[in-house]
Amino acid sequence: MSTPETQPLLATHTSGFRPLSRWSVARWAPIPLRLVVGYGFIAHGLAKLERGPAQFVAIVHAIGTPAPHFMAWLTILVELLGGLAVLLGAFVPYVSVPMAAILLVAIFTVHLPFGFTSIKLLAVTASGPEFGPPGYETDLLYLACLATLVLAGSGPVAVDGWITARLRRKR
């Protein structure tokens, strides 16, 4: 049985194929994006802490960022807290702005000279593969995922949905 939302979609398919409705599995699509983006940002933030924040401060200074100590710590905090927020589906439109800024800075200050491809296999030796510097491909993928989450929402099992439902009940 079709609903008003699916009637136009069903009318275009005469082969018996029934497209996914708004209430089907398609509504769960943002969850893999949240998991990958959230985990990815947290992993990058933790890696900066594990290597030593002073090392990241030196990198930020080398690319000419003003106030490198402050900006390095700000980047680490955005990666950790923003990653956690995306993972939980909390305040995604808000945390996406500084997260996108970090990605854009990474593209234009680090990755752009190395081209698009993020994996550059240089050689395979007895000790394993050797890779060249990554391009901006992965940064663009993260930006596309963040844009999708902002435009389409965080999906079910998200803090944003819980907050919205709670605010509606109070009215």
pLDDT 10s digit of each residue in the chain, 171 long?
555 554 554 444 455 556 555 567 888 999 999 999 999 999 999 999 999 999 999 999 999 999 999 999 999 999 999 999 999 999 999 999 999 999 999 999 999 999 999 899 999 999 999 999 999 999 999 999 999 999 999 998 999 888 888 888 887
- Between CA 78 and CA 23 the distance in angstroms is 33
Of the candidates 24, 135, 139, 149, the one whose C-alpha atom is nearest the C-alpha of residue 86 is: 149
Inter-CA distances, 59 with 38, 62, 125, 133, 158, Å: 23, 5, 29, 15, 35
Specify the DSSP element, H or E, that contains 144. Answer: helix 137-152
The predicted pLDDT at position 16 comes to 58
What is the reported pTM? 0.81
